Amino acid sequence: MIQLYIPLNFLGVIYREIKQNLTDLDKMFTLMERDREVADAPGAQPLDTARGSGIRFEQVDFAYEPARPILHGVDFEIPDGKTVAVVGPSGSGKSTLGRLLYRFYDVQAGSVRIAGQDIRAVTQSSVRRAIGIVPQDTVLFNDTIAYNIGYGRPGASQAEIEAAARAAHIHDFIAAMPLGYQTMVGERGLKLSGGEKQRVAIARTLLKNPPILIFDEATSALDSANERAIQAELQSVARGRTTLVIAHRLSTVVDAHEILVMEAGRIAERGSHAQLLAAGGRYARMWALQQNEPAPAAGAAHQAVGS
């Protein structure tokens, strides 16, 4: 039996290795593919962030493939330093808004503007420098935890990395490990939980210190204590930054300046939490449903709204 087990175990290791590399390649090609979708206009100038960071989606139509329109006349504004949250069923177009703001793709009609500047008219790199993303699933490199956090700003000092880790409440966790910030992360190193990965992403964003933030809330399970802690950290990161929250749960959106309820690529409802509850429509129904959900046990899956 042991003779059979060892080669099988060995094959398992090789399989995981190949699978991981394929996943990395897949991610890389997906990113390259996206980058081919947009190009700088001739003579494009950098985005002027001294003019502010308010965001405007003006009558935006968008399709990934011409035959299948995804967004229809989407129109909203995020005033400088404010937070707008997007909710709605799975596939309604929430994450697409974030991808358009980061200019993975160009819109087919209408425009996306930052401080009045059409993002198609300025350099793509300057738009991306101005935006920090806390994604659903943070990509970690097979490198040290210091490298994984410092990636937010190449050249950051150890003291700056530690300060960002402290602010993201992950410093104590790192410092408790024998190798501290030199601990390897990834396939053969330390595996981080969903919440810890999001904290790494928050620390990266703090280091980058961008005026604009896109927070694509994790659909994956976080226990409720962790979820509340991450929410509090995000709120403090978002303070003073122009923030788009793509929300899969309603608890994150209560304090937003405006909430957009998306349905099939259109804004079906909009307003503050109180206004939407008073309106008694889709949002109010989603909210009521969520209140009746049993509180998740620690570590149990938290049902996501519409996902």
Report the distance separating Cα 303 and Cα 295, nearest Å.
10
Report the distance separating Cα 47 and Cα 277, nearest Å.
38
Residue closer to ligand ATP by CB (options 241, 248) is: 248
**What is the smallest separation between the CB atom of 165 and ligand ATP, expressed in angstroms?**
28
Coil, helix or strand for 36?
Answer: helix
- Sequence-ordered list of residues with C-beta below 8 angstroms from that of 68, at least 6 positions apart, any chain: none
Angle at 51 between CA 47 and CA 55, to 5 degrees: 75
Q: Which of residues 93-132 bind ligand ATP (CB under 6 A)?
A: 93-96
Q: Which of residues 182-211 bind ligand ATP (CB under 6 A)?
A: none
Coil, helix or strand for 214?
Answer: strand
Residue closer to ligand ATP by CB (options 40, 263) is: 263
Of 185, 187, 173, 202, nearest to 146 by C-alpha is 185
DSSP H helices in the chain: 2-37, 94-101, 124-129, 145-150, 158-167, 171-175, 194-208, 224-238, 273-279, 282-292
**What is the smallest separation between the CB atom of 94 and ligand ATP, expressed in angstroms?**
4
Residue closer to ligand ATP by CB (options 110, 306) is: 306
Report the distance separating Cα 259 and Cα 38, nearest Å.
29
Q: Which of residues 34-93 bind ligand ATP (CB under 6 A)?
A: 64-65, 70, 88, 90-93
Give me the 225-264 binding string for ligand ATP, x by CB under 6 A, dash otherwise: -----------------------x----------------
Residue closer to ligand ATP by CB (options 69, 271) is: 69
**What is the smallest separation between the CB atom of 64 and ligand ATP, expressed in angstroms?**
3
* Site membership for ligand ATP, residue 290 (CB under 6 A): no
Binding site for ligand ATP (CB under 6 A): 64-65, 70, 88, 90-96, 248, 306-307
